[in-house]
Structure 1
Amino acid sequence: MDNKAKVIYKRGTSELKQDTHRAAELTFSFNNCPPDEEDKKEGLLRELLGKCGRKLFIEHNFHCDLGYNIEVGENFYAGFNFTVLDMAKVNIGNNCMIGPNVGIYTAGHSIQPAGRTKEGYAIPITIGNDVWIGGSSTILAGVTIGDNAIVAAGSVVTKDVPANTIAAGNPAKHIKHIE
């Protein structure tokens, strides 16, 4: 499937309810683990997520739609209040760090009022290797962030970020090349 291919989903189907309920149960268990139960927390994440590399760590108050559409590589860290709306695939590479209060949103909605309550769409997001996303940033549907890129804190990423660059602002724009 093309990385930018739109996924259409029907709201309220029994399968979607079951899948979101599973994710809600696992994230609830994860978010309510005592801080010293790191092995249990990691086990819950490995059960929830579609694919995980070695050295996986997400702080509490993690939320997602389905979980199984999220794939993370080796050495992954995400700060507090990480939210992923994963109605489509979210692929995150190796050695990535995500700051607190970051949202990654594959989901979108019809501009026509009548359609908004019946179905939605989602477009996959890809984040390369060695990427750093600063706190309170938002990554929107269909975006690709290239290897070694940095997204500055507070940015809203609406378009692709090339490899080896720093992007910042709302909407995020290229501000510097990384040598």
Structure 2
Amino acid sequence: MPPTRCFGLKRHLLRWAGAEIGDNVRICSSVNIIGNGTLRIGNNTWIGHESIIMCSSDISIGADCDIAPRVYIGNGTHKITPDLDKIAGIDINKDIKIGNGVWICVNSTILPGVTIGRKCVVAAGGVVTKSIPEYSLAAGCPAIVKKNLY
């Protein structure tokens, strides 16, 4: 499919697969959505090229969000288990909630258990490991709040 065309068809296919997709959601065709969790995306949200959504529990993306290219959003991880054969041991799944009006910039990573409050900005390359309050700009690895936007 053309990368920035056929948005209606993509919405239809995701709804058919069980996702809750709002009106006018635009998902580029190079986006990978993987997993058997619950995915909800609000109205008028854009998800950019080559982004990955790994949905093993609940991922909720609000309305009017802009998710730039190559953003990773994933809610599965592992408990570190040095006593077992594999250090990446027991599976852990933690929900992710992204509020309305959020802008997640290019090459950012949203890790399990995070809530990003409404109208936040995650700067390019940010690695969000902890929740971010609304109207904040967060940056870095790990991402920390650099500025209140209100």
- Indicate whether the TM-score tops 0.5: yes
Where structure 2 has 5 or more consecutive residues not aligned to the other structure, the ranges are none
Q: Which residue of 1 aligns with 2:118?
A: 147
Distance 2:127 2:18 in 1: 25
Residues 126-174 of structure 1 show CA distances to partners (whole Å, capped at 9, x for unaligned) of 0011100001000000000001111011000000111011000100011
More strand by share: 2
Aligned-CA RMSD value: 1.9
Q: Is the 8 A contact 1:69 1:88 kept in 2?
A: yes
Q: Is the 8 A contact 1:49 1:68 kept in 2?
A: no
Residues 96-146 of structure 1 show CA distances to partners (whole Å, capped at 9, x for unaligned) of 110000000101113124367885221000001110000100000000000
Q: Which residue of 1 aligns with 2:53?
A: 84
Distance 1:75 1:60 in 2: 17
Secondary structure at the aligned position of 1:54 is classed as coil
Q: Is the 8 A contact 2:42 2:62 kept in 1?
A: yes
- Note closer, same or farther for the CA distance 1:162–1:117 as it changes in structure 2 (3 Å cut): closer
Distance 1:92 1:34 in 2: 24
- Note closer, same or farther for the CA distance 1:74–1:176 as it changes in structure 2 (3 Å cut): same
What amino acid is aligned across from residue 151 of structure 1 in structure 2?
A: V
Q: Is the 8 A contact 2:122 2:139 kept in 1?
A: yes
Distance 1:44 1:77 in 2: 16
Distance 2:147 2:92 in 1: 33
Structure 2 residue aligned with 1:53, among 8, 22, 35? 22
Structure 2 residue aligned with 1:70, among 39, 49, 62? 39
Deviates more, 1:61-70 or 1:139-148: 61-70
Distance 2:126 2:18 in 1: 25
Distance 1:66 1:129 in 2: 23
Q: How does 1:1-179 map to 2 (within 5 A)?
A: 33-34=1-2, 36-66=5-35, 69-112=38-81, 113-114=84-85, 120-179=91-150
Where structure 1 has 5 or more consecutive residues not aligned to the other structure, the ranges are 1-32
More helix by share: 1
Deviates more, 1:132-141 or 1:119-128: 119-128
State, as a whole percentage, how many aligned pairs show the same letter: 35
Distance 2:51 2:137 in 1: 21
- Note closer, same or farther for the CA distance 1:52–1:68 as it changes in structure 2 (3 Å cut): farther
Q: What TM-score does the superposition give when structure 2 sets the normalisation length?
A: 0.88
Secondary structure at the aligned position of 2:131 is classed as coil
Count of paired positions: 147
